[in-house]
Amino acid sequence: MSAWAEQLPQQLERIHSTTNHGDSHRWQQALEQLPQLQATAVDFGADAVTVSGETLSQQQQNSLTELLKEFHPWRKGPFLLHGVSIDAEWRSDLKWQRITGAITSVEDRTVLDVGCGNGYYGWRMLGEGAKLVVGVDPTQLFLMQFQAIEHFVGNEWPHFMLPMGVEDLPATLLSFDTVFSMGVFYHRRSPIDHLLELKNTLRPGGELVLETLVIKGNKGEVLLPPGRYAKMRNVWFIPSPDTLAVWLRRAGFENVRVADISATTVQEQRSTDWMQFESLRDYLSPDDASMTIEGHPAPVRAVFIATKR
């Protein structure tokens, strides 16, 4: 990765100088106001990524909650920081439970997490002994959330988040032992190119963990929503599992298998105090929860595992 490491500082400089979200200043201020608390233990193995050490008074808890809510909406979690519980929209621990037993252990492996959100899974990967986790995600708010969590967890961990898209990675990294792409594939307009991008980050024999929406159907079937899907404008290809298996093989992966297929439930994705906008319940048909509000099959997600040839 040394060639990448050399160009990364300039690339990040370019990204910083061209990214300016209207809320950046407010987020930056909230980051700077986060209290310095002594962490005596971190637990990346628990469902909630947990930092403990100090017992906060009710007033301290309230003011920490208020500061962390500056980073609303919290999509991925949960986190528990010195007794303050961030109950995010997604119970990301449930997805992690479905995945972690099925994949080659990330222990001692270098891991790339494409579309890492606020980095929740990266901490869980460290909990499983990953040697290095690099997350990439272009959404500035999620970088801020990552930095807020890192403030409490400490920055001595081999977990980094780069504020860029998968398309900004060098074309041929060929170095990671495992690459995760979770919840990203259906947002890509060119699905085979996404598989090739992912393949090019892996060393030969490296493992891809691909989690995405699927439909029930035979080989060759794929849903390309004519408009929105579950109110999302940017959903492109939702293949059947057999179709996706063919795409993976055509893209140069072998040993392709499906580790899990699960319908997303309103227990796993819901509005909370930490994500007060609409959530899954509002995206489903009020008359038939097996359909989205637009009349498409409701979200079902599959986890594919494959090896780079």
Please identify which residue in 165, 170, 252, 297 interacts with ligand SAM, judged by CB under 6 A.
165
Positions in 54-93 near ligand SAM (CB under 6 A): 76, 90, 92
Amino acid at 61: Q
- When asked if residue 183 is in the footprint of ligand SAM (CB under 6 A), the reply is yes
Q: Which is nearer to ligand SAM, 64 or 130 (CB)?
A: 130
User: At its nearest, how many Å lie between ligand SAM and the CB of residue 160?
Assistant: 15
Q: Long-range contacts for 217-220 (Cβ within 8 Å, ≥24 apart)? A: 217/242, 217/243, 218/242, 219/243, 219/246, 220/246
Helix residue ranges per DSSP H, 205-275: 241-250
CA 88 to chain CA centroid, nearest Å: 13
User: At its nearest, how many Å lie between ligand SAM and the CB of residue 137?
Assistant: 5
User: At its nearest, how many Å lie between ligand SAM and the CB of residue 60?
Assistant: 30
- In sequence order, the 6+-apart residues with CB closer than 8 A to the CB of 308 are 199, 202, 203, 204, 205, 206, 207, 208, 252, 253
Report the distance separating Cα 50 and Cα 214, nearest Å: 32
- In sequence order, the 6+-apart residues with CB closer than 8 A to the CB of 90 are 75, 76, 77, 268, 269
Please identify which residue in 68, 136, 245, 303 interacts with ligand SAM, judged by CB under 6 A.
136
- When asked if residue 268 is in the footprint of ligand SAM (CB under 6 A), the reply is no
CA 177 to chain CA centroid, nearest Å: 18
Q: Which is nearer to ligand SAM, 90 or 253 (CB)?
A: 90
Please identify which residue in 49, 134, 144, 182 interacts with ligand SAM, judged by CB under 6 A.
182
Q: Number of residues in contact with ligand SAM, rule: CB under 6 A?
A: 19
Rg (CA), the chain: 19
Q: Which is nearer to ligand SAM, 136 or 144 (CB)?
A: 136
User: At its nearest, how many Å lie between ligand SAM and the CB of residue 125?
Assistant: 12
Q: Which residues contribute to the site for ligand SAM (CB under 6 A)?
A: 76, 90, 92, 114-117, 136-139, 142, 165-167, 182-184, 187
